[in-house]
Amino acid sequence: MTDRAVVLLSGGLDSATAAAVAARDGFETYGISFSYGQRHAAEIVAAGRVAAHLQMADHKIVPIDLRTFGGSALTADIDVPLDRATEDMAAGIPVTYVPARNTIFLSFALAWAEVLASSDIYIGVNALDYSGYPDCRPEYIESYQVMARLATKSGVEGATQLTIHAPLIALTKAEIITLGVELGVDFALTVSCYNADNLGAACGRCDSCTLRRKGFVEAGVGDPTLYATAS
Amino acid sequence: MTDRAVVLLSGGLDSATAAAVAARDGFETYGISFSYGQRHAAEIVAAGRVAAHLQMADHKIVPIDLRTFGGSALTADIDVPLDRATEDMAAGIPVTYVPARNTIFLSFALAWAEVLASSDIYIGVNALDYSGYPDCRPEYIESYQVMARLATKSGVEGATQLTIHAPLIALTKAEIITLGVELGVDFALTVSCYNADNLGAACGRCDSCTLRRKGFVEAGVGDPTLYATAS
């Protein structure tokens, strides 16, 4: 049997590339996405497109309600900042940070991996060009892996130890785009914008759009992003 | 302002005692429970009773769907084992294990703690009389704390470091009952049974009932559990 990997799939550029890396590494891929009351529901639709495009074995969309806690511009009634310079993004944690989001997402991926008898989880975090989120840092991912190995049956019964793969963690956005292109990812299917409209058109002005646009320029790759007319 | 603590509240005997310990430690308590497709929905009702009894500041019931993954007798169509001796429970991980359950629960508690500006989470796991779950072991809790400190804003911005309190982890069931009685917990409000009926009456035969009943006997405390007539 081909080994299975669970891949966190947000619908954005990074996770699509991480999924393509998992496939390149020889895994049968299982995508997991979350409907968490985020403003940009278009990303869920994009995740489904990416799962089909990459011929995943399965794709689950898990509803979870992070709005019940509030605390983020992505899930509460707080404005997403626009037109920030990338230097400013590096200073402090922005209001788009969702408390414990990657920890919650990885925990559901861990549950599914255990049921699938999979020992591999892929996540598309990167520590460069990353908008200052604490749960995108290498030391966070490493500590999650240590915890996950103790949390599960395999940690007790001595089967293959779980690995959290973060293949993009040391790459710039431009390098991620270059890698994705090499692996045949169609970035036109992806949505990164925090303010995307229902059709997935991007605002071009939020931190995520700014980082993405800059990445395409630096990679020397044509930007296939659908931008809303106003931007 | 009184410091706040988030307490995982299952509706059972252990988490009610852990909540009482948090209150004794001087915290304003915030209970969090999960509706996760478990067979024993009566435990959610019990959690609400315990939250009111302990005069918690707030109690949230978070719906999450663990049935989508399957893999456990508590969430899938697998029989819960009955009438097992406690020695047999110690041998291996039982079918009532829910993959990554405590990891998922703690991750939601972590999100809420961050929004509440709380640095303290209480969980009623114990490693003795514990039914063999990997995510009830001290080394698991310690590694979760390391991860959680790196996952959150406080880990980056240097505020008070998060602590995962597991005050029952080294206690026997009898010791937990004795502690709870000292702290004024009304165990008649709690439901531990995996097969509880809609009114919270216990089967008296699953692992959880067996451990609970034995605990009351060993503590020399009258067992206030409502048992279904048949048992």
Higher-confidence residue of A230 and B137: namely: B137
CB environment A133-153: b (16+ within 10 A), e (fewer):
bbbbbeebbebbbbbbbbbbb
The proportion of chain A whose per-residue pLDDT surpasses 70, expressed as a percent, equals 83
Q: What are the tokens at B51?
A: 């939250």
How many domains does the structure of chain B reveal? 1
Nearest to A144 among B70, B98, B147 (CB): B147
Task: Give the residue from chain A lying closest to B138, CA to CA.
Answer: A150
**How many Cβ atoms sit within 10 Å of the Cβ of residue A35?**
14
Q: What are the tokens at A113?
A: 């991996």
Identify the segments of chain B with pLDDT beneath 70.
38-40, 70-81, 86-97, 129-132, 154-159, 230-231
Give residue B230's pLDDT.
Answer: 55
In a domain, A150, yes or no: yes
Q: Domain range spanning residue B44?
A: 4-219
In a domain, A63, yes or no: yes
Separation between Cα atoms, residue B65 and residue B98, nearest integer Å: 12
Q: Do A65 and B62 touch (CB under 8 A)?
A: yes
Q: What are the tokens at A185?
A: 């990812």
In a domain, A19, yes or no: yes
In a domain, A45, yes or no: yes
Best of A104, A142, A169 to mutate (most B CBs within 10 Å, chain B): A104
In a domain, A139, yes or no: yes
Helix (H) or strand (E) holding A33, with range, is: strand A28-35
In a domain, B90, yes or no: yes
- Tell me: pLDDT of A144 over 80: yes
Q: What are the tokens at B69?
A: 């993954």
In a domain, B228, yes or no: no
Q: What is the CATH number of the domain that holds B76?
A: 3.40.50.620
List, in order, residues 6 or more apart from B48 with CB less than 8 Å away: B11, B33, B59, B61
Separation between Cα atoms, residue B134 and residue B122, nearest integer Å: 18
Q: Do B100 and A93 touch (CB under 8 A)?
A: no
Q: Do B151 and A102 touch (CB under 8 A)?
A: yes
Separation between Cα atoms, residue B148 and residue B161, nearest integer Å: 9
Q: What are the tokens at A211?
A: 């980082």
Q: Do residues B167 and B18 lie in contact, with contact meaning Cβ atoms separated by under 8 Å?
A: yes
CB contacts of A146 in chain B (<8 Å) are 143, 146-147
Separation between Cα atoms, residue A189 and residue A203, nearest integer Å: 16
How are beta strands B120-122 and B163-165 bridged, if at all?
A: parallel
Looking at the whole model, is its pTM more than 0.90?
no
Separation between Cα atoms, residue A93 and residue B156, nearest integer Å: 9
Task: Give the residue from chain B lying closest to A106, CA to CA.
Answer: B104
CA A15 to chain centre: 4
Q: What is the pLDDT of residues A155-198, one digit of tens each?
A: 556 567 899 999 999 999 999 999 999 999 999 999 988 888 88
Nearest to A140, CA basis, from B144, B166, B104: B144
Give residue B78's pLDDT.
Answer: 61
List, in order, residues 6 or more apart from A230 with CB less than 8 Å away: none
Q: What is the pLDDT of residues A47-70, one digit of tens each?
A: 999 999 999 999 999 988 777 776
Nearest to A115 among B70, B137, B143 (CB): B70
In a domain, A79, yes or no: yes
Give residue B231's pLDDT.
Answer: 46
